[in-house]
Structures are given as structure tokens and as C-alpha cells.
Amino acid sequence: MAATPADASSSSSEAVVGGEKSNKMITLISSDGESFEATEEAAKMSVTIKHMIEDGCADDGIPLPNVPAKILSMVIEYCNKHAADADDTNKHVADPADADEDDDNNNNNASAGEKEDLKSFDASLVAVDQATLFDIILAANFLSIKGLLDLACQKVADDIKDKSVEEVREIFKIENDFTKEEEEAVRKENAWAFNE
């Protein structure tokens, strides 16, 4: 899914919001040299990038040698979607003219619908194979995007729930390095160590 700069700019132009925020575009360059554009607001969802912008290192584009193109495009998609949502919430909160009760109800309904929308977007973003999921976790960690990190880690945890030992090994491609005796010892201890 290689996004050309043209695609990147068109998708980011959809995400441009309100006259209050600056429309400055930030260029992000993946590890394999592709460059992507994102609004400053979306890019600032990453604390790492936010610090770089504030320190003035972002003018020529930000190289991200740890993030491949495929993952960077997913990360930018997440940031665009969540930055837009955050801004809408701020708009609802910040508008004092909306003191009317009916309007308030409409706003609440709209944001409830948006929340559902956001949830299903998040779910589809992380419905990927294990390798991509781990790449997303590492990228979110490197870029310090807490929401995306929580989302991806929770997906991995949910994949582990209710699975047997063999199934976990199969899904996550882990080799069994226990000897028979060691495994027996761990099993014995587990039998009498409850964690609640």
C-alpha cells in the first residue's frame, strides 16, 4: 500500500479542520525513503514528533528510520482520524452559544455516533496479522502515541485470552524452550498460585 505524495496530500486535505488550527503540513519520511504528509495537528498526536516540531527540527521533513512505509501510513491514518475527533469534541465543548438544550442533545447524540464510528475504525485498523501488529506497537512506542499503543497492545492481549499454550505458540510463532522437567515444575507451581 504505497502512498504517493499526491495521495498523501489528498488524504490529509480531508483531515484539515477549522480555521483556528494552522494548515501547516508536516512531511514524515519512512525508513525506506517514502515521504508522507500530515497536518501538524495530526502529527502532534505523536509526542516525539511534537517535541521535534517545537524544537524546530521539522522544517525539512522528519525522517523516521524506525518506521516502514506500510506502518507509517497506518499510523498517519490513526492520527488523522483521532485528531479530527478530538477537535470536534473541543468544538462542542468550547462553543458557549450552544446553551440550548435541544442543541446539546443533538451534540451528545452526534458524539455518541462518532464514538461508535471511532471504535469500529480502531477495531478494523488493528485487525491485521501478528507481524504488522507488532510493527504498529513498536512504531507507536517510538513515536510515543499512547492511544495507538494502548489499542494495539490490547488487541494482542485479547488474542491471547482463552487460548491454550499450543495455540499461543502457534499464533505468535514462539518456540518452546522448556525442558520437560522445567515445564513440569512451572505447571506444579501454577497449580497452587492463584493471582486474585
Partner 1 sequence: MRITAKPRRRRGFRRRPRRGGFSAQSTPSITAVSSQLSHPRPPPPFLGSRILRARVQCLPSLEVAQVVQLRYSMEDLPEPLLADIIKRITVSSDLNSLCLVSKQLCAVEAEHRGTIRVGCGVDPTTEALTSLFSRFSNLWKVEINYSGWTPSHGDQVNNQGILVLSHHCPLLSDLTLSFCAHIDDAGLSYLAYCRKLRSLELSFAPAITSTGIFRVAVSCCYLSVLHLVDCIAIESVEWLEYLGRYGSLGELVLKDCDGISQYDLLKFGPGWRKLQRFEFEINGTYWLSERPDPSYVVGYPSSYDICCDNLKDLRLAHIVTKPEIGLRFLLGKCKALETLYLEYVIGLNEDEVISLFQRCCNLKTISLRLMPLRCEDHWFRTALTDDSLEALALSCPMLQVVELTFTFCEPSYPTEIGFTQKGILTLIQSCPIRALVLNGASIFDDEGMKGLSSTQFLEKLDLVDCCSVSDAGMYLIAQAPCLSHLTLRKCSSVTDDGLAALARSQKLESLTVIGCRRISQEGVQGAAKSVCYSSETESHNSLKGMNVYRKIRQSP
Which chain residues interact with partner 1 by CB under 8 A? 2, 4-5, 27, 29, 31-35, 48, 60-61, 63, 65-66, 68, 130-131, 134-135, 137-138, 141-142, 144, 149, 153-154, 156-157, 160-165, 168-169, 172-178, 182-183, 185-196
All residues at 6 or more sequence positions from 75 whose CB lies less than 8 Å from its CB, including other chains: 46, 67, 136, 139, 140, 143, 145, 148
Question: Is the CB of 79 or the CB of 149 nearer to partner 1?
Answer: 149
* Closer to partner 1 by Cβ: residue 86 or 153: 153
Question: Rounded to 5 degrees, what are φ and ψ at 66?
Answer: -95, -5
CA atoms within a 13 Å half-sphere pointing along the CA-CB vector of 121: 16
Nearer to partner 1, 18 or 65 (CB): 65
* Cα–Cα distance, 34 to 80 (Å, whole number): 18
Can you tell me which residue has the cell 522437567? Answer: 181
Name the minimum Å distance from CB 35 to partner 1: 6
Closer to partner 1 by Cβ: residue 111 or 141:
141
Pairing of strands 62-63, 35-39: unpaired
CA–CA gap between residue 78 and residue 80 (Å, rounded): 6
Query: In angstroms, what is the minimal distance from the CB of 164 to partner 1?
Result: 6
CB of 29 to partner 1, least distance (A): 6
Please say which residue, 29 or 74, places its beta carbon nearer to partner 1. 29
Nearest to 158 by CA among 123, 113, 195, 112: 123
Q: Quote the least distance from Cβ 46 to partner 1, whole Å.
A: 11
Please report how close the Cβ of residue 183 comes to partner 1 at its closest, in angstroms.
Answer: 6
